[in-house]
Amino acid sequence: MTAKTRVRFAPSPTGPLHIGGVRTALYNYLFAKKRGGDFILRIEDTDSQRFVPGAEEYIIEALAWCGISPDEGIENGKIVEQPSEKHPFAPYRQSQRKDIYRGYAEDLVKRGYAYYAFDTSEELDAVRSQAEANGDVFTYNYQIREKMKTSLTLSPEETEKLLSQENNWVVRFKMPVNYIIKMADEIRGEIEVNSSTLDDKVLWKAADQLPTYHLANVVDDKLMEISDVIRGEEWLPSLPLHFMLYEAFGWSDSRPRFAHLSLLLKPDGKGKLSKRDGDRLGFPVFPLEWKNDAGERSRGYREDGYIPEAFVNLLAFLGWNPGTEQEIFSLEELTEAFSLERVVKSGAKFNPEKAKWYNQEYLRMRSSDTLAAEFSLVLKEKGIEKSPEYTTKVIELFKDRAAFVNDFWNLCDFMFKTPESYDLKVKEKFWKEDTSEILDQVIVLFEGIKEFTKENIENILPATIKERGWQMGSVMNCLRLLLVGESKGPGVADIMALLGKDESILRIRRKSLLP
Ligand code: GLU
């Protein structure tokens, strides 16, 4: 029997989640759900120096907004701290699992896979400077460890003494010499690395009694029975060490499968899409808005007006495709269609226009009632109150032109307030000597229309213009100018039918205000 699929999203609370991180969470979620497995959230907060207050809450809120709900690790919007039937491996925050890791580090030392290192930062600086003076890059590797103050070079008595006297020693992994580490990645295939090219990474630190990322990550993946690790490409360089750790612990048989996702790239494909890019390139790189310590805000997809389903859909397509023409997928459909085999090896270019397109598609799928209810909040802020029926009709008319609810105001502000200024360039172009007098006749014409519907206006207005020998372009453009204030908008008859006879005529009468 194959083990149950269990995957985890294991962010470090070092700031807001980048969209690349949300994509990692999404792929993990889809992978697990497709197999009827579990998706676990684990907070990797063992690097206390990089801890950012509010980041954990941000991660939880961002996943909730996307509809990516973990099966384990979170309950009522909080990280689970006490084990229960549903959350057997709690706590799911590594800082609260502190006591677990030391024993694993010491076990590796006892069995010769790791060692204690006592070098002070001054001593390390000295060897680093010397290496650099010789034109070498300093790495704490198998050659260096023989020259340093470690349990490999000191006698057992000296080691014991230092362990009890000092409090800033560390446990380092003893990377074997000239050993070919053979790894498999579900996306990249076979990978081989010679262990001599790798350094002896720190696994545990006495100073804060905490493990480093590598030890905590591997131990927790084992303890939490993780079957597949799906994470960002930036962790690929750590894979050889993780493989060696599984081997050293004797866990190779239950080692998870690994898949490293390629990076998200800037729109021009030149380099990775970084946390700082968003505001510079004019689109958000975070799911939700984020305010840093200095009070600076970074834009978020939620606050920019994205529909969460659209955001999830566009994210899924950054590095994966179903191999068909279909581009619109609900979360359930994505779950059904997703497979790691169709995840691309190369970096995925972020396309801000495509992102907008997705939102537009989802906006169109929303009912006009729902959009009207959302837009009425925007109107309310502007002190405008209209009946839901009227707002819904306006939304129906403009829906195809909007990508975001917030676009509606720019598109159709004139449906909610009488224009107060007019585009004089339009006037200059279309206003003729007899326009004012013609418009007086148009008013009389409109007054005579019993039912002021689009159809009736369309039946009467152009026919009359032709019949009386007026210039079609001039009359229609001047009418639009008075109704809208400029030359934008849908058909004049559509606008007037919605505004109603009284408001339309009132706007045409305001021609006397034109300078
Ligand atoms: N804590 C790591 C991060 O911040 C997790 C990497 C992994 O998934 O192993 O992304």
Ligand 1 mean position, distance from CA 332 (Å)? 26
Q: Single out the residue in 261, 285, 317 at which a domain terminates.
A: 261
- The answer to whether residue 440 sits within a structural domain is yes
Question: Mean pLDDT score of the chain, rounded to an integer?
Answer: 96
Together in a domain, 115 and 218: yes
Give the model's pLDDT for residue 2. 62
Among residues 7, 9, 43, which one has the least CA distance to residue 24? Answer: 9
Pocket of ligand 1 contains residue 259 by CB under 6 Å = no
- Name 291's bridge partners: 297
- Could you tell me the sign of the dihedral formed by the alpha carbons of 229, 235, 237, 241, in that order? negative
**Is-contact 185 192, C-beta < 8 A?**
no
Atom of ligand 1 nearest to the CA of 9: 8
- The residue whose two tokens read 């990474």 is 201
Tell me the pLDDT tens digit for each residue of 203-215: 999 999 999 999 9
| 34 is known as an active-site residue | no
C-beta separation of 304 from 407 below 8 A: no
Q: Are residues 442 and 409 in the same domain?
A: no
Same domain, 251 and 381: no
In angstroms, the CA 233 to CA 260 distance is 5
Structural domain count of the chain: 3
Would you call 232 helix, strand, or coil by DSSP?
A: strand
Task: Tell me: do 203 and 110 sit in the same domain.
Answer: yes
40 Cα to the center of ligand 1, angstroms: 13
Q: Indicate which atom in ligand 1 lies nearest the CA of residue 12.
A: 4
In a domain, 305, yes or no: no
* Same-domain check for residues 382 and 442: no
Residue 80 pLDDT more than 60?
Answer: yes
Are 498 and 410 part of one and the same domain? no
Question: What are the tens digits of pLDDT across the range 379-392?
Answer: 999 999 999 999 99
18 lines ligand 1 (CB under 6 A): no
Nearest CA to ligand 1 atom 2: 11
Q: Are strands 202-205 and 210-211 parallel, antiparallel or unpaired?
A: antiparallel
Question: Which residues fall within 8 angstroms of residue 202, CB to CB, at 6 or more apart?
Answer: 117, 170, 171, 172, 212
Q: 10: Cβ below 6 Å to ligand 1?
A: yes
pLDDT on residue 3: 83
Percent of the chain with pLDDT over 70: 100
Mean predicted confidence (pLDDT) in 321-350: 97
pLDDT at position 419: 96
The answer to whether residues 168 and 257 belong to one domain is: yes
44 lines ligand 1 (CB under 6 A): yes
**How far, in Å, is the centroid of ligand 1 from the Cα of 234?**
9
Report the distance separating Cα 509 and Cα 440, nearest Å.
Answer: 8
In a domain, 87, yes or no: no
Band of pLDDT at residue 280, cut at 50, 70 and 90: confident
Q: What is the mean pLDDT of residues 142-155?
A: 95
Q: In 10 A of CB 469, how many CB atoms?
A: 6
pLDDT-based confidence at residue 266 (cuts at 50, 70, 90): very high
Does residue 377 sit in the same domain as residue 490?
no
Quick: pLDDT tens for 489-504: 999 999 999 999 999 9
Do 228 and 127 share a structural domain?
Answer: yes
The answer to whether position 327 is within a domain reads no
The pLDDT tens digits for 16-58 are: 999 999 999 999 999 999 999 999 999 999 998 889 999 999 9
Residues 118 and 130 in one domain: yes
Question: Average pLDDT in the 94-107 region?
Answer: 97
The verdict on the CB of residue 477 being under 6 Å from ligand 1 is no
Q: Which of 261, 278, 305 is the last residue of a domain?
A: 261
User: Given a cut of 60, is residue 421 above it in pLDDT?
Assistant: yes
Residue 386 lies in a domain: yes
Same-domain check for residues 250 and 373: no
pLDDT (0 to 100) of residue 1 = 47
Residue 274 to residue 172: CA distance in whole angstroms:
31
Same domain, 473 and 371: no
In the chain, what's the furthest Cα-to-Cα distance? Answer: 112
- Of 431, 417, 429, nearest to 383 by C-alpha is 417
Residues above pLDDT 90, as percent of the chain? 94
Is the pLDDT confidence value at 399 over 90?
A: yes
173 DSSP β-pair partners: 114
Identify whether 54 is part of a domain. no
The domain in which residue 380 lies consists of 367-417
Distance of alpha carbon 106 from alpha carbon 115, whole angstroms? 9
CATH number at residue 447: 1.10.10.350
Q: Which of 222, 242, 261 is the last residue of a domain?
A: 261
